Copies of this chain bind each other. A is one copy, B any other.
Amino acid sequence: MQTDQRKLTEANLTVGYVAKRSGVKVSTLHFYETKGLIRSWRNSGNQRRYKKDVLRRIAVIKAAQAMGITLDEIKHTLVTLPDQRTPTQKDWAALSKQWQTQLDERIAYMQRLRDRVDGCIGCGCLSMSKCPIYNKNDHLGENQSGAVLLDTSN
């Protein structure tokens, strides 16, 4: 029965089909594979074949990217998925939990930005050391240079 179950649940999807269903290009699937984000096996003629769950994997990758998570980070999270069996709903939920925090931080930062940007850009306070815009604690923006006070009085 385990065998029958597998026959039913693990389709042999071609790369073209996966591309069409997921909305990403074939070349992107190749690319993701070289990056270790998805997997396939080959048929007798060396063509890629995929399990059905690759579709969800791709959807998750896209969702994570939309959250601003890099492919490298996504990869690190995806490897926490079970290797031997097809991931369950619980597995996926655990994944999303890992990203939830990042997303919360990102939103909080955006809100700080929004709350301050108006006054901040408009007023004279736009300083590298004091302005909340520069005092973020997440990965958005790469200003980790020793903050310097801008004297923007003019």
Residues on A lying within 8 angstroms of B by beta carbon are 9, 20-24, 52-53, 55-56, 59-60, 62-63, 65-68, 86, 89-90, 92-93, 95-97, 99-100, 103-104, 106-107, 110-111, 113-114, 117-118, 120-124, 126-128, 131, 133-134, 136, 140-141, 143, 145-148, 150-152, 154
This protein's copies in its complex: 2
Question: Hey, which chain B residues are within 8 Å of A154, CB to CB?
Answer: 9, 52-53, 56, 86
Given A86-B154, A113-B63, A133-B66: A118 and B141 interface contact (C-beta under 8 Å): no
Between-chain CB contacts (< 8 Å), 27 pairs? A20-B148, A22-B148, A22-B150, A23-B147, A24-B145, A52-B152, A52-B154, A53-B154, A56-B126, A59-B150, A59-B152, A62-B141, A62-B143, A63-B113, A65-B141, A68-B140, A90-B122, A93-B121, A93-B122, A95-B121, A96-B118, A96-B120, A96-B121, A96-B122, A103-B114, A107-B114, A110-B110
Given A66-B133, A118-B93: A23 and B146 interface contact (C-beta under 8 Å): yes
Question: Hey, which chain B residues are within 8 Å of A151, CB to CB?
Answer: 21, 55
Given A95-B121, A97-B118, A154-B52: A126 and B86 interface contact (C-beta under 8 Å): no
